[in-house]
Amino acid sequence: MTNKFKAKISRRDLIKTTALTAAGATLAPFMGPWKYNRVWAADKPILIGLTHDASGQFANSGQAEKRGTIMAIDEANANGGVLGRKIEYIWADTETTPATGSRVAERLITRDEVAFMVGAIQSGVANAISQVCQKYGCVYFNTNSSSPTESGKNCHRVKFVWDGSGANFARAAASGAVTKFGKNWILLTNDYVWGHNTSKATQEILESLGGSVADNILVPVGTRDYSSILLKLQQAKPDVVATAVGGDDYKALRQQVQELQLDTKMAWLSNQLDWPDIYGAGAEAAFGVFAATWYHYLDLPGVDDFVKRYQERWPDTRMNVPGNVTYNGYVAMRELLRAIEEAGTTNNIKVIKTLEGRVMKADDRMQHHDAWIDENSHHVQQTIYLATRQDQPRDDSDYFKILQTMDPKEVANPGESACNLESYDDTPTYEM
């Protein structure tokens, strides 16, 4: 028995065991206990998932938005990061497709373990992403999709909506148009969630003002030829054509309206005109009356500096001035990073509570009125600008003439009462 025991512990084994014990004792402080791991985690970068389209109907807008979010991240990192941690991002193309949005969100959370998610242009994609985010508890910023349902029936506790909604824009534009042009309207509606809900909001407002909708022409997503629709409009002779058509569909519509010079023959009301949908087409393409949340020629503090910083950061981009889409991406990301810093943690519930009801000063946001995040719908209530084509452009980038500045309270959407946020208890805790 003794001999057997002796045979098992050779000199080589003894040396090996001693060496391993010594190594273990030396490394132990670095491997644990738990509190040391927490210290290590605090130095770990905060990873943010960017969900911006690079293909499909809103590819151009998605990339414009991405430039804004990355700018805000770069600036935060240049100022020492957030909570002493560097901000990193991982970007995925959501392809303007809701199914891709879901898949990307699932992957960013489960495989890449992002702490937060930011980005959306199309409402269907935003809705799909936010459902996945709510399932895990990951805070998600819908930066640019403006269907009223995003802050209405499709709202979520983890989701914050940064763009003005179609209902806000319709409120801003409709009353003036009824007075100026007439009460007989035709709606052109992109046949998906944003188009339907935006036109619905327009119709409600129009009818409340005594107007009526003669026809609601549905425009399937991917429509490139509007010749039949434009003939029909000419035959119907409405007072106003109110469009809720976006992305590439809008670009084709605009081009064909101009081709026929119908922009001067009837009154056009575009719910919102995104800068990437118009940039490069010239001021003459910005016909009709439309709404926007921001413009690079607003005479406000910080605007020129923001434009300059954008141009320095993106010297090679063809869109050489930022528009509303880039702006929304930028301010949304900047506010998220500030909220994390103020919350002192990346814990989702604490960050959400920091954001709810948050007031953002007009000067800081480069808008005319203070904005705030409605705590019941998570929708940013902000200044809406009514604009039309610039007839005296200051330079090649000056397309819009601002007609009116609307206070957020004037354009607030009562339909957001349909939002029923999940309770904090029903929202999983999420912290990376």
Partner 1 sequence: MDFLYNLLPHLVNGIALGLLFALIALGFMLIIGVMEVINLAHGSLFALGAYIALVIITPEGGLAMPFLENWFGIAIVPRYVAALILAPFVVAFVGMGLEFCLRRTYGKDPLYGLLLTFGAALVIEEAIRVIWGHGEYVLPIPKEIRGGFIHADLIWSTYRVYAAIFSIAMIGLLWLFIEKTPYGAIIKAGAHDSEMVRALGINLPKLRTLVFGFGTALAAIAGIIMAPIWGIRPQVGVDAVVPAFVVIVLGGIGSFWGAVIAGLMVGMVVGLTAAFFSDWSLLSMYLLLLAVVTFRARGLLGKASALEN
Query: Residue 188: which of 246, 122, 124 has the closest Cα?
Result: 246
**Bridge partners, 386 (sequence order):** 291, 404
Q: Which of 16, 265, 308, 361 binds partner 1 (CB under 8 A)?
A: 265
Nearest to partner 1 of 265, 308 (CB atom): 265
Angle at 296 between CA 293 and CA 302, to 5 degrees: 95
Query: Contact region for partner 1 (CB under 8 A) — 77-85, 164-172, 277-285, 343-351?
Result: 277-285
Nearest to partner 1 of 242, 319 (CB atom): 319
Question: Could you say which residues in the range 186-225 bind partner 1, by CB under 8 A?
Answer: 191, 217-220, 222-225
Question: Considering the rule CB under 8 A, would residue 259 count as an interface residue with partner 1?
Answer: yes
Instruction: Residue 431: count other Cβ atoms within 10 Å of its Cβ.
Output: 14
Query: Contact region for partner 1 (CB under 8 A) — 111-119, 153-161, 232-240, 307-315?
Result: 232-240
Q: Which of 83, 90, 214, 252 binds partner 1 (CB under 8 A)?
A: 252
Question: Considering the rule CB under 8 A, would residue 311 count as an interface residue with partner 1?
Answer: no
| Cβ contact 427:349 at 8 Å | yes
Nearest to partner 1 of 286, 355 (CB atom): 286
| Cβ contact 69:119 at 8 Å | yes
Q: How far is CA 158 from CA 69, 277, 341, 348, in A?
A: 19, 29, 18, 8
Query: Which residues have C-beta within 8 Å of that of residue 68, sequence separation ≥ 6?
Result: 143, 322, 325, 326, 327, 328, 329, 330, 331, 332, 333
Q: Which of 50, 51, 56, 82 binds partner 1 (CB under 8 A)?
A: 56
C-alpha torsion sign, points 161, 163, 166, 168: positive
Query: Contact region for partner 1 (CB under 8 A) — 251-259, 371-379, 380-388, 401-409?
Result: 251-259
For the CB of residue 18, give the shortest distance to partner 1 in the complex, in Å: 59
Residue-wise over 196-205: b if at least 16 C-beta within 10 A, else e? bbbbbbbbbb
Both tokens of 255, joined, read: 């081009």
Q: Which of 65, 150, 277, 416 binds partner 1 (CB under 8 A)?
A: 277
Question: Considering the rule CB under 8 A, would residue 60 count as an interface residue with partner 1?
Answer: yes
Nearest to partner 1 of 87, 278 (CB atom): 278
| Cβ contact 291:387 at 8 Å | yes
What is the rounded distance in angstroms from the CA atom of residue 153 to the CA atom of residue 138? 19
CA atoms within 13 A on the CB side of 205: 28
| Cβ contact 239:184 at 8 Å | yes
What is the rounded distance in angstroms from the CA atom of residue 257 to the CA atom of residue 255? 6
Nearest to partner 1 of 201, 219 (CB atom): 219
Nearest to partner 1 of 224, 308 (CB atom): 224
Question: Could you say which residues in the range 141-180 bind partner 1, by CB under 8 A?
Answer: none
Question: Considering the rule CB under 8 A, would residue 251 count as an interface residue with partner 1?
Answer: yes
Question: Could you say which residues in the range 314-343 bind partner 1, by CB under 8 A?
Answer: 317-319
Nearest to partner 1 of 79, 235 (CB atom): 235
Angle between helices 11-31 and 34-43 (to 10 degrees): 60
Nearest to partner 1 of 177, 285 (CB atom): 285
Question: Considering the rule CB under 8 A, would residue 261 count as an interface residue with partner 1?
Answer: yes
What does the binding site for partner 1 look like in residue numbers (CB under 8 A)? 54-56, 59-60, 62-63, 191, 217-220, 222-229, 231-232, 234-235, 248, 251-252, 255-256, 259-262, 265, 276-277, 279-282, 317-319
